[in-house]
Amino acid sequence: MPPKRLDPKASTAKRALFECADHWKYMLGLLKDNALEDGDYEKLETAVKQTYEWIRKNKFAKKDEFEAKDKELMELGEAVMDRMNPPPWTAEVEASHQQFLAAAAALDGWPAVEAPPPSPASLP
């Protein structure tokens, strides 16, 4: 019996989920010393670890499953960023976020997403 293969669309969605998890792992490093609300850092860190574990256990999941996990992680990460005080939008964080969004949009089947611009008060 030939080895099981992931269909190309699911493979693209899986790669996008990896990119999303990698992005939030990187962002955690940048945000470690910022004023996060109680438990937000741990929630996001746990979600990133669980995402990597889920991918490892579900190598041959369907495209929709990868996309649902991606959406879930992205929504959590964005919610954490929105609750930060002061907002974390330094030039470095903004550049990283925009680079991630551009890379995500370049993947097949991903719509381009525009991030809200940082508030001028939050930039150094």
In a domain, 104, yes or no: yes
Lowest mean pLDDT among 17-26, 87-96, 108-117: 108-117
Q: Residue 32's domain is classified under what CATH number?
A: 1.20.1270
Number of domains in the chain: 1
The pLDDT of residue 24: 92
In a domain, 2, yes or no: no
- pLDDT above 80: residue 111: no
Confidence grade of residue 45 (pLDDT, cut at 50, 70, 90): very high
The pLDDT of residue 82: 79
The pLDDT of residue 19: 92
Task: Write the DSSP assignment of 45-71 as a string of letters.
Answer: HHHHHHHHHHHHHTTT--HHHHHHHHH
Task: Write the DSSP assignment of the chain as a string of letters.
Answer: -PPP---HHHHHHHHHHHHHHHHHHHHHHHHTTS-PPTTHHHHHHHHHHHHHHHHHHTTT--HHHHHHHHHHHHHHHHHHHHH-SS----HHHHHHHHHHHHHHHHSTTPPP-PPPPPPGGG--
- pLDDT above 80: residue 100: no
In a domain, 121, yes or no: no
**Domain coverage including residue 62:** 8-110
The pLDDT of residue 93: 73
In a domain, 18, yes or no: yes
Question: How many angstroms separate the CA atoms of 5 and 51, rounded?
Answer: 21
The pLDDT of residue 95: 78
**Which has more pLDDT, 96 or 18?**
18
pTM of the model: 0.67
